[in-house]
């Protein structure tokens, strides 16, 4: 059995305490290169038809999500509340468009390459467009 000297233990303890002294600032993180989306992030452009992702002339079937902003063809919405469930998330959207302001409660299911949005009894599947499409 090896014996560790008290001197070695005292030296390690002293060095550890010195690193925690007041005024010792943590290292400054380097700035990120561009936006960072967490895995499973909803950010992006979606379309009801995957083939329309490259067609800039099909805005009526497009949905763009950026942070808490949901932009549909003729309405812009902001997430007012959300409640995660086991397989979906209930989201309350505060929307303005077509001359009116209203709240909309939708269920979202994020799947690889698509987003399912249920509004009342209607479920729509939006296909995620590749970046730059």
The C-alpha atoms of residue 54 and residue 44 are separated, in whole angstroms, by 14
Phi, then psi, of 92 in degrees rounded to 5? -100, 120
119 within domain boundaries: yes
Average pLDDT over residues 19-43: 61
Residue 23, CA atoms < 13 Å, CB-side half-sphere: 1
Domain limits for position 101: 44-128
- Counted domains in the chain: 1
Do the domain assignments include residue 63?
A: yes
User: What's the whole-number average pLDDT of the chain?
Assistant: 79
pLDDT cut 70: percent of the chain above it: 67
Strand residues in 72-113 grouped as ranges (E)? 76-84, 89-97, 100-111
Domain for residue 30, yes or no? Answer: no
Residue 3, domain member (yes or no): no
pLDDT at 15: 46
Does 101 reside within a domain? Answer: yes
Q: pTM, whole model, 2 decimals?
A: 0.66
* CB contact set of 101 (below 8 Å; sequence gap of 6+): 94, 95
Q: What mean pLDDT comes out for the span 85-110?
A: 92
Rounded Cα gap, residues 52 and 73, in angstroms: 14
Residue 97 resides in a domain: yes
Is 112 among the domain residues?
yes
Tens digits of residue pLDDT in 47-81: 999 888 887 767 889 999 999 999 998 899 999 99
20 inside domain = no
């Amino acid at each position: 059995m090896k014996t560790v000297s008290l001197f070695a233990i005292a030296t390690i303890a002293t060095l550890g305490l010195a690193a925690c002294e007041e005024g010792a600032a943590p290292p400054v993180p380097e700035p990120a290169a561009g936006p960072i989306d967490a895995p499973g992030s909803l950010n992006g452009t979606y379309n009801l038809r995957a083939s329309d992702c490259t067609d800039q002339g099909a805005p009526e079937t497009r949905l763009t999500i950026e942070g808490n902003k949901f932009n549909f063809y003729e309405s812009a919405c902001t997430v007012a509340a959300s409640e995660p469930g086991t397989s979906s998330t209930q989201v309350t959207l505060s929307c303005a468009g077509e001359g009116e302001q209203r709240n909309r409660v939708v269920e979202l299911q994020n799947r690889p390459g698509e987003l399912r949005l249920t509004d009342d009894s209607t479920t729509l599947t939006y296909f995620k467009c590749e970046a730059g499409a």
